[in-house]
Structure 1
Amino acid sequence: MNQPATLTVDAYFDLICPWCMIGKKHLETAIAWLGQAHPNVAVRVDWHSYPLLPATPPGGTPYRDFYLARLGGPEALAARQAQVCAAALDAGITLALDRIETFPSTLLAHRLVRHAVRQAGAGAAPALLDELFTRYFMHGENIGDPQVLRRAAAACGIALPETGANAGQPDLDWLPPLHDAEAPPLRAGFGVPHLVFNGTHSVSGARPPAVLLEAMQRALARAQQRATLAAG
């Protein structure tokens, strides 16, 4: 099949969601498989910030207390954590949820991702996302803390200017705002991870790589059909 040269992926995510970390790994595996089957197809992934709980206090809230209240008790919490840890292991990821003390606000971290993309292009996002996911889900760091975010940026080679009143300070209030004309609209009932391929085929949840590959191939076939009709 004479497929188009580019597959676009719009990936909606939040940094407090372990399923997004798992979904990112599955997406990378599916893209690698697609490259083996169709080496002529270039894939572009655009990561869209989608904070699930934007009203979380800037300093965060106690992690265990948050989930006990949200899930209804210790047994439900243990069951949910066992489920997500098992799914992560299937993706080659070992979570350390017992290390997490603070359920963070992710707004500042999302703004940092936006800054990285503006500074270095879309290719800067994957490494920073991996760094932030790792710091939170494996090391238990509070990714709502500006000092943690500065260390994450430095680890990824992302320049953060320290000039004027903010020189030498951890404050990151100067980062570009998240919800402006470039940000995707928030919709009730919308969950993450959520992937849209070529604007026509979408997949919600941390689905296995084979499911994502099938959606990619369908999106490519749909685009080819459209191109053929337009040329005819």
Structure 2
Amino acid sequence: MNDATTQGNPVEMASVAVDVHFDFVCLWCLIGKRNLDAAVDRFASLCPEVSVKVRWHSHQLLPEVPVGGVPYQAFYVARLGSANAVAARRVQVQEAARTAGLQLAFDRIEVMPNTRAAHSLVSWAVSTSPGFQPAPLIDRLFTGYFMDGEDIGDPDVLQRIGLACGLDAAGLAEHLAASRRGDNMEIPRSPQADDVRGVPHFVINSALSLSGAYSPGAIVDAMLRSTGDQENR
């Protein structure tokens, strides 16, 4: 008899579920994702007997943005009131990004996109590809936007990213053709959607909520509390 069986019956491995609500135009969501990645690695070293399941949930912040997007720089000047206010905010954000190992390229971004097509792509990939893990695709969409300045509202950009992430070429082309027509664009709502006021928003084991780009240590602490395993800290 080994550790995975008891009297011939499999023992279910303990687990912790992390539900993540995010939008692709939220740079704090990218920072939060990298912090979560680091937290999951740290948690695995502390609690190797506990598996971690991360579930990603789309949450559009600006659904009213036109399908073709709007000029990025002008959008933020109007939102924050002046070019100086935008510059000051970016200094703050770049510092947080560097702590997470990121270098944002605001000067490359020309379009504030509508993110529905990008979210729809992730939803389609998960629903049509058994076993598909969306995290690499989500990460590539984030970095494509914030680090490469790609317009992730453009179906041609989404096609290139999808192919680079291993999605089926024929199915991807069909999906994006439907997206261009405005079909097949529903974004599934998570069970916690009504409680989400901002993103990134993490819900751990359907009980503990963290709203904001928390540090890896804070996320690990919440995961440990959710499993009652604080003695490993």
Bucket of the pairwise TM-score, normalised by the shorter protein: 0.7 to 0.9
Structure 1 SS opposite 2:228: helix
Q: Which residue of 2 aligns with 1:178?
A: 186
CA–CA separation in structure 2 for the residues paired with 1:202 and 1:149: 31
Residue aligning to 2:35:
26
Matched residue SS, 2:133 = helix
Question: 1:203 aligned to 2:210?
Answer: yes
Give 1:116 shift: 1.2
Contact 1:108 1:172 (8 Å CA) reproduced:
no
What residue number does 1:226 align with?
none
Partners of 1:19 and 1:206 within 8 A in 2: yes
**Matched position secondary structure for 1:94:** coil
TM-score (norm 2): 0.85
Find the counterpart in structure 2 of residue 127 from structure 1.
Answer: 136
Instruction: Verify the 8 A CA contact 1:60 1:102 in the aligned structure 2.
Output: yes
* In 1: Cα distance, 2:204 partner to 2:81 partner: 36
Which ranges of 4 or more aligned residues in structure 1 deviate by more than 6 Å? none
Structure 1 unaligned blocks of 5 or more: 223-232
Percent identity for Structure 1 against Structure 2: 43
Q: Does 1:16 align with 2:25?
A: yes
CA change 1:121–1:33 in 2 (3 A) is: farther
Q: 1:156 aligns with which of 158, 165, 188?
A: 165
* 153, 156, 177: which one aligns with 1:147: 156
Cα 1:72/1:23, change in 2 over 3 Å? same
Paired residue total: 215
Superposed CA RMSD: 2.4
- Per-residue deviation, 1:118: 1.1
Match of 1:64 among 60, 63, 73: 73
Measured after TM superposition, the shift of residue 189 of structure 1 is: 6.9
2:111 is equivalent to residue 105 of structure 1: no
Letter paired with 2:213: A
Contact kept? 1:197, 1:215, Cα under 8 Å: yes
Matches within 5 A, 1:36-47: 36-47=45-56
Instruction: Give the structure 2 partner of residue 228 of structure 1.
Output: none
What letter corresponds to residue 184 of structure 1 in structure 2? S
2:95 is equivalent to residue 86 of structure 1: yes
Secondary structure in 2 matching 1:161: helix
SS at match of 1:25: helix
Query: Under a length normalisation based on structure 1, what TM-score does the superposition of the two structures give?
Result: 0.86
